[in-house]
Amino acid sequence: MSGTTSTTIKYRPVKEIALIGLLSAFNIASRIGLQALPNVKPVTSIIILSVILFGLSFAFKVTVVTTVVSNIFLGMGIWTFFQILAWFVICILTEILVDLFHIRENQPHYVLMACFSFVMGYVFGFVVSLDQFVIGGLGLFIPYYVGGLLFDTFHAVGNFFFYLMLAPILYKIFEKDLKKSEQN
């Protein structure tokens, strides 16, 4: 964290665990329920909003619970590690953005953050594709990554629209807690 005052919402452990469970359950249900739509899920947007509202540690926890539990249903493999890694990278990039532009102190502009979410769809696809580099080197990674760019585009477009839909709702839900955090 930089030297700026942080206004992430802090909860007692029980409430934090419940909120992690709630956001993770929403993510898990969306990954399973929207399985027919390739890569169009609200998970990345929820994780970005988790960083903004609750901080990096909280978002890491949502990421791990979401990925491990949903992959119990969708299938475990080396990609599970790379999915967690990809969302961790997105969490860190979001935290850097938050610190650079003091986003917690000044509610972020929804369209600009939706554009950031859009770009994170491609970041996610790149990091997840690295599993192919581990398995088969550059010769396997390049065609796999290029072949997946259409799906990364689906992910990016989905992120853009999910962020625009979910950010106002989550800010409204946690508005009282945000104001209380800013006063402390």
What residues make up the domain containing 121?
A: 13-178
Q: What is the DSSP letter of 132?
A: H
Whole-prediction pTM: 0.91
- 42: in domain: yes
How far apart CA 61 and CA 57 sit, in angstroms, is 6
| ∠ CA 162-163-168, rounded to 5° | 110
Q: State the helix-helix crossing angle for 43-54 and 56-74, rounded to 10 degrees.
A: 160
pLDDT tens for 54-73 read 999 999 999 999 999 999 99
- 125: in domain: yes
- 1: in domain: no
pLDDT tens for 159-183 read 999 999 999 999 888 877 767 766 6
- 153: in domain: yes
- 64: in domain: yes
pLDDT tens for 101-151 read 888 777 778 999 999 999 999 999 999 999 999 999 999 999 999 999 999
Q: How far is CA 179 from CA 61, 123, 184, in A?
A: 24, 32, 9
How many independent structural domains does the chain possess?
1
- 6: in domain: no
- 81: in domain: yes
- 183: in domain: no
